[in-house]
Each structure stands twice: as structure tokens, then as C-alpha cells.
Amino acid sequence: MSEHTVSAYDQELTEIAGKIAEMGGLAESIVSNAVSALITQDLVLAQSTIDRDQRLDDLLHEIEMRNVQVIARRQPMGQDLREIMAATRIANDLERVGDMAKNVAKRVIAIDSDLKSKKLAIGVEHMTELALNQLKAVLDAFTRKDAEAAVRIRGQDAEIDAIYTSLFRELLTYMMEDPRNITQCAHLLFCAKNIERIGDHATNIAENVFYMVKGDHLLDDRPRMDETGVEDKESV
């Protein structure tokens, strides 16, 4: 899109998009470290991951403040207005992604023992990989203002949900086999849920990117199934 007559306005919007990219990169790295810490039982890495989440919160506040200032100063319209709205929502989602990762890292410290099952670790790792790919792809879509990519990414969340559901069943089996597994398995269950939620945030971001580019909302036509086995067609 061509530039604003007032060039400082372009500068402000570019800086906000830059801050979103920074948040995105940080969120990816926090998620990746939290899960590494879980797989390798690295308590030091877990603690540093918890500490780094604070930076995401700070960035969120900074983006919110900048957005408020742009609204007050420029009264954005059309695409600019949608971009500001999308940036606010996306920053919120990224901050929540950080919270999810932080929660995983806290559970690493709470579990403080080796994982009972190699298979579980692989499942969690695989799910994390998918969630991170989604997050990366959706942030690229935001930067490129690519609505088609956003639609595609949103359609891929089902795979993460499916892995989560199978992990859920597996964890139930372990708990039934030996009640001594329950503590660890319950923590792992929450870890898996957190990662699955990261996928949901990536989906939210995809919907916001679509709105930002097209000005219309994506219709919520994907039936969702979670571990409860109850289909949910309610919109996000």
C-alpha cells in the first residue's frame, strides 16, 4: 500500500508491527525452551524461561500504549484502523502464549523427576513442533498481510487438537495402570493442554490477520472436537 501523506504516521505503524514481530519471536523461543526443559528436566532452563515471560508482558503494555497514542493522534480509518485493532488483539494472544509456556516451565520444576514414558515425551515434542510452526507461519502471514495463508493456518489447528486428544487418552491409561503416576501425569496433562492452547492462540491470530487484510470476519465453520468428545460449534 502507498504511503501516508504524513510520513511519521507510517513510521508509527511500522514500529508497532515491529514490536509484534519482536513479541512473536520471543514467544516462540519461550515455548521452545519450556518444552525442552520439560523433556530434558532442565530446571535451570525452566527457571530462566519463567523469568523471560516478563519481557512479553512489558512488550504487550508498550504495544497497547503505542496503539492508544496512534488512535488519539491520527484517528486511523479503514485498513489502518483494522491494523491497529489486529495488533492489539495479536499482542494479547502472544502474551497469553507466553503465559502458557511459563505454566509448562513451572510444572517442570513441580514434576522434578524424569518422564516415565519416552512415548509421551515424543508426543509432547511433536505437538509443540506443530504449534510452533503454526505460530511462525501466522506471524509471517501478519507481516506479509497474507489473508490466504491465514485461512490455511487456521485449518491446520485440527492436527494439534488430534494429538492432544490422543495424549489425553494415553495419560489416562498410565494413571489407571499405577496411581503413583498420577501426580506426574496430571502435570503432563496440563502441559499438553497448555501447548494445545498455544495452537488455539495461533488460530485466533490467523483470524485477526484475515480481518486486518479483508475487513471481514472468517466464518466459523469448523466443527471442533476436544478430549471431552463433545462437538462444539460455538464461535471463538
| Minimum distance of other proteins from residue 169's CB (angstroms) | 44
CB of 4 or CB of 126, closer to other proteins: 4
Residues 204-233 binding other proteins (CB under 8 A) are 215-216
Question: Which segment (1-9, 29-37, 105-113, 197-205) binds other proteins by CB under 8 A?
Answer: 1-9
CB of 80 or CB of 157, closer to other proteins: 80
Looking at the DSSP bridge assignments, the partners of residue 231 are 225
| d(C-alpha 109, C-alpha 100), whole Å | 15
CB of 78 or CB of 229, closer to other proteins: 78
Residues ≥6 apart with Cβ < 8 Å to 93: 201, 202, 204, 205, 208
Q: Is 79 in the site for other proteins (CB under 8 A)?
A: yes
Q: Is 3 in the site for other proteins (CB under 8 A)?
A: yes
Cα dihedral across residues 10, 16, 21, 22: positive or negative: positive
CB of 79 or CB of 156, closer to other proteins: 79
Among 44, 72, 78, 219, binds other proteins (CB under 8 A): 78
| d(C-alpha 185, C-alpha 208), whole Å | 35
What 3-state class would DSSP assign to 42? coil
Pattern 28-67, binding to other proteins, x per CB under 8 A?
----------------------------------------
Phi, psi of 178 (to 5 degrees): -150, 115
DSSP H helices, the chain, are 7-40, 43-74, 78-111, 118-144, 147-155, 157-177, 182-214
Enumerate binding residues for other proteins (CB under 8 A). 1-6, 9, 74-82, 215-216
